Amino acid sequence: MPRKVVKKWEPHKSVDRPSSYETSIWYRDKENTLVRETDNIAIYKDKYPACDGHLLFIPKIDQPRFVGEAMAEAYYHGQTQMEQGKCDGFNVGMNINEVAGQSVLWPHIHFIPRMKGDQEEDEPKGIRTCYPKDAFHPKNYECEGTRRGRESRKAIEKMQKYLESIGGKFKYD
């Protein structure tokens, strides 16, 4: 039987819905770089990396115990990389389902090494910066006092414009 032609994978456009690790794009596409493998986990270089060292820790069985084992392995890898001076920190995380950005619908953990200076110095860092509409994202967070002050300033400016339009003077005393 001839080998089935695998459609070219396009990040953020293609979706892979494997029924097992063996039917996933990672296993089927021999261009993917397998870094290490255990009985329960496969570790690949991300084919579309955010930076050098971006790895995927993939459980071979879709059950919480094995996903946890992959997560623990990613965490341990990060700790080892920091101890060896290969990175200053790291992000470990998962996208679950298409609405969260998952394009291969099989559990996998992203490991992304971080170096000092790989982001703007004055920009907030961490997981919240990837979700800009998050109410607790540093750029969106506004305490009640700040909100009231902003609204009060708008009301004062509106009153000032109205008074000036009818010939009055507006003074802060």
Contact 111, 92 (CB under 8 A): yes
d(CA 94, CA 67): 10
Percent over 70 (pLDDT), the chain: 72
**pLDDT score at 131:** 46
Is the pTM higher than 0.85? The answer reads: no
| Residue 3 DSSP symbol | P
pLDDT, tens only, 130-149: 544 444 445 555 555 565 66
Q: Rg (Cα) of the chain, in Å, rounded?
A: 25
Q: Identify the H or E element spanning 152.
A: helix 144-165
d(CA 17, CA 61): 14
Per-residue pLDDT band for 117 (boundaries 50, 70, 90) equals confident
Write b or e for each residue in 70-86: b if 16 or more Cβ atoms lie within 10 A of its Cβ, otherwise e.
bbebbeebbeebeeeee
| Residue 10 DSSP symbol | -
Token pair for 157:
């400016």
Does 70 score more than 90 pLDDT?
yes
